[in-house]
Structure 1
Amino acid sequence: MTVEAELLATHPSPLRVAAFRRFVLANLVSATGSAMAPLALAYAVIGQGGGAGALGVVLATNTLPTIAFLLVGGVLADRFSRSRILFLGNLLAAVAQGVLAGIVGTGHATTVSIAACGLLSGVATAFTAPAAQGVVNQIVAPEQRQQANALVRLPGNAVKVLGPVIGGLIVAVSGPAWALGWDALTFVVAAVLLIGLRLEAPVAVGSAVADLRTGWSGFWSRRWLWTYTAAGTVVVAAWLAGYQLLGPVVAAEHYAGARSWGQIQGAFALGLVAGTLVCLRWKPHHLLAVAVVTGAGLVLPLGAMGLGLPLRYVLIAAVLAGVGLDVSVVCWTTAFQSYVPSEELGRMGAFNGIGERLAIPFGYLLTALAAGVWPGRVVLLVCAGAIALTTVLNLCVRDVYRIKRQPVREESRTGRVPVP
């Protein structure tokens, strides 16, 4: 029996690990609120008289503190218990969403107050995102990473199928405050579950500043990592600016408003579920190349809405985009966890996160300004074109094809990760 076969027999499924089940449950609970939150936030801004410009300010304010504190979060994730960081970060997010629900529900919401709550949520994300990067590596066997990454996403994606539709109905009937309040409650429950993971802190050697310097050297030495991050800077900004900012605005102008936008988000989530199921069965050899190609599916719903296609075609495009995105995320996460040592995952994840988020505030603001000059549909097509062009350029990087699934699990035997 091969080493890989022996390991697979020893670890047949990550769901047999109690800590992994707890981690999956925490993600599921949090997803029930997060599935409704973007729609509720958008219509909270629209409800108090704001348009694309006001929504752009709110979304940019949510992103800026994440960028500002992400490196700090990455260093802490490689020095302290990741479960404790996730606990505190989720509590902070609960406070932010709870206050937001209160001011929206009492009719005291303004663009400034909504943006202030978003700023607090952005700080929480800066600490939880890098910590979450290293959890799977600490609780499952290396050869089960792709399955574990898919299983972590599966329950949350399933919730997102109905979550936006239900959220759209709640917003249409009762207003956005109820959906925001539920999101706050789910953060509290997730925090309690995550502290129960009791993950050991990574062994820290040297100062935090030295860790940061070492992290930057490691990030820059991995060409596949920084080029993928650079491409993500454009792709993520164009997708969020087009979908999250202009999507609800275009839905309000040309479709049936919150109800149609909820259906589009539900279709996208249905695609995410299908993509997760694909990843449970399909294990591509060229992990990073597949991640790049399948991520380009985000062009489809932006293009469909930009061309003014009927809602049924937009829904089909959203499903296909969801399939591609989830395959992309699972393949990318598996490659990242396989080629970066566990003790560096927080910092590498932080550098990657900063890179992918860096252009988001500018994308929101630029898109909001452009939407004031050109029709929203035209701006959506520009966003789709930016994603397509960036994907082609990223596929021209030779190192993208060197990040492959390892046929022999040397890490399982020696504790070392493969070097591309």
Structure 2
Amino acid sequence: MKAAGARIGGLADNRSFRRFLTANVISSTGSAMAPLAVSYSVIERGGGAGELSLVLVANTSPPILLLLVGGIYADRVSRNLLLFVGNLLAASAQGVLALSIATGRGTTGLTAVCAFLSGTAASFIAPAAQGALAQIVDAEHLQRANALLRLPSNVLRVLAPAVGGVIVAFGGSAWALAWDSLTFVCAALLLRGLRLNLPRAGTRALDDLRAGWASFRARTWLWSYTVAGTVLVAAWLAGFQLLGPLVAQQRYGGARGWGLVQAAYACGLLSGTLVCLWWRPRRLLAVAVLTGAGLALPLAALGCALPLPAVLAAAVCAGVLFDIEVVTFVTACQQHVPQREQGMLSAFNGLGEHLAIPCGYLVTAMVAHTWDDRSALLACAGLIVAATIANLCVPDVYRVNRLTP
């Protein structure tokens, strides 16, 4: 523990990282409650599943359409400027939505527009943030920096449902969204002060896209991980997000049981972050690939109709392993991808994961009339295991290891 504390202390001396971390902590407090507030703002107006689906589609479609654009600009302009503008755009969207709800003028159409703008902001923030962290933190400290950045969001995963529910219940959705807007403003001002250098000299955007695609294809370890990750995310979302609540309703007492499963998974994520603060595996990418298979555990437990305590244990293990996967993979990318390509290549990877969202939901809808829920859950678990095994057969996976000074 003393050695781990000393290494974390190296990050504490980094003023730019402290600013970056503070911005992340502040914005996380608002972002954790925003989905609940947006959903209930639609419900409180009498909206049903159709209106809520429209808002969710509006929020999740921009990354599919604009993530590559965000990746191009993350390598062409100063990343702190891109983070500043992206956070201000998100603040404006949430502020307008909060004001419209508070004055009784909110509509589903306006909510969808604000959700689209928030998704657009995220499409530019995500690739810029990954590259910015690699610019301000030395390679030897990147894993712990990534873990520390995930720590507040994972803590809030545990607390946000209860805290957000109380705020929305007693103060209304407008207050939660107003707080989210304010946190984005604070984060924007903090990130504007980073003063990061330009990642590369100005070139044509189309040339950057072609060069980025060529670089992505040349890195077998990256595109193979992206393909496997697309399958993994699609199977996880289909099994956990869609089928999980249905099985919980039939066997585990409905919302109460499913709430316990989600809380167990969130606690696992938090525990995984703490593991990454002291465990530094040498084979970064191999560990990332292997730990991704942990998402199959709760799906298999639900599909086999195991008792609720066994499902909760599986959810905790899945959370621990998944957070280790995220931290080790991001660290591997930051150490093995040149600075001038960080935004573009992270965007290609992120695009695959976002495409998995509609694919997973669509396939689940197609097989819903053929398979029962438990069989579909077992199939999703099998897909996760198969994708992991296929990815572990790629030789390049074992060459992307931790860089030491």
Task: Tell me the equivalent position of 1:50.
Answer: 48
Correspondence 1:129-148 to 2 at 5 A: 129-148=126-145
Asked whether the 8 Å contact 1:297–1:324 carries over to 2, the reply is yes
Q: Is the 8 A contact 1:163 1:266 kept in 2?
A: no
Shift in Å, 1:126: 1.1
Secondary structure of the corresponding residue to residue 198 of structure 1: coil
User: Given the superposition, is the C-alpha separation of residues 56 and 207 from structure 1 closer, same or farther in structure 2, using an over 3 Å criterion?
Assistant: same
2:384 maps to 1:387: yes
Which of residues 87, 92, 98 in structure 1 aligns to 2:89? 92
Residue in 1 that maps onto 2:228: 231
Query: Which runs of structure 2 are paired with 1:339-350 in the superposition (5 Å)?
Result: 339-350=336-347
Matched, 1:78 2:57: no
Deviation at 1:122, TM superposition (A): 1.6
Question: Is the deviation greater in 173-182 or in 324-333?
Answer: 173-182
Report the Cα offset of residue 385 of structure 1: 3.2
2:120 corresponds to 1:120: no
Q: Distance in 2 between matches of 1:292 and 1:336?
A: 13
Contact 1:50/1:111 (8 A) holds in 2: no
Structure 2 match to 1:65: 62
Q: Distance in 2 between matches of 1:40 and 1:311?
A: 29
Query: How far did 1:360 drift?
Result: 1.7
Residue 396 of structure 1 aligns with which residue?
Answer: 393
1:77–1:130 CA contact under 8 A, matched in 2: yes
Residue 192 (structure 2) pairs with residue 195 (structure 1): yes
Secondary structure of 1:295's aligned partner: helix
What does 1:223-372 correspond to in 2, within 5 Å? 223-245=220-242, 262-307=259-304, 309=306, 311-367=308-364
Deviation of residue 257 (structure 1)?
Answer: 6.4
Q: Distance in 1 between matches of 2:348 and 2:58?
A: 20
Gaps of 5+ in 1: 1-8, 410-420
Equivalent residue number for residue 212 of structure 2? 215
**C-alpha distance in 2 between matches for 1:136 and 1:217:** 24
The 10-residue stretch of structure 1 (293-302 or 347-356) with the greater mean CA deviation from structure 2? 293-302
Which residue identity lines up with residue 202 of structure 1 in the other structure?
A: P
1:129-159 CA distance string (max 9 Å, x none): 1101111211111111112111221232223
- Which region of structure 1 is more displaced relative to structure 2, 315-324 or 77-86? 315-324
Residues of 1 paired with 2:28 and 2:267: CA distance? 14
For each residue in 1:56-93, what CA deviation from the matched residue of structure 2 results, as whole angstroms up to 9, or x when unmatched? 55434322221211111111111111111111111222
Of residues 176-185 and 256-265 in structure 1, the stretch that sits farther from structure 2 once superposed is: 256-265
My pick for the range that moved more, 368-377 or 164-173, is: 368-377
Shift of 1:212: 1.6
Q: 1:328 and 1:355 mapped to 2: Cα distance?
A: 16
TM-fit CA distance, 1:349: 0.8
Report whether the alignment pairs 1:186 with 2:186.
no
Residue of structure 1 in register with 2:3 after alignment: none
User: Whole-Å Cα distance in 2 between the matches of residues 298 and 348 of structure 1?
Assistant: 25
CA separation in 1, counterparts of 2:74 and 2:288? 25
1:14 equivalenced with 2:11 (yes/no): yes
Cα separation, partners in 2 of 1:188 and 1:262, compared to 1, 3 Å? farther
Q: Which moved more, 1:356-365 or 1:53-62?
A: 53-62
> After superposition, what is the alpha-carbon deviation per residue over 1:302-331, rounded to whole angstroms, capped at 9, x for unaligned?
344455555544433322221111110111
> What percentage of aligned pairs have identical amino acids?
59
Residue 155 in 1 paired to residue 144 in 2? no
Answer yes or no: is the 8 Å Cα contact 2:7–2:141 preserved in 1. no
**Structure 1 residues 91 and 205 mapped into 2: Cα distance closer, same or farther (>3 Å)?**
closer
Indicate yes or no: 2:30 matched with 1:33.
Answer: yes
Asked if structure 2 preserves the Cα contact closer than 8 Å seen for 1:32 and 1:160, the reply is no
Matched, 1:166 2:163: yes
Q: CA RMSD in A?
A: 3.2
Cα pair distance change 1:327/1:155, threshold 3 Å: same
Q: Secondary structure at the match of 1:13?
A: helix
Alpha-carbon distance in 1 for matches of 2:202, 2:165: 49
CA contact (8 A) 1:82 1:132 kept: yes
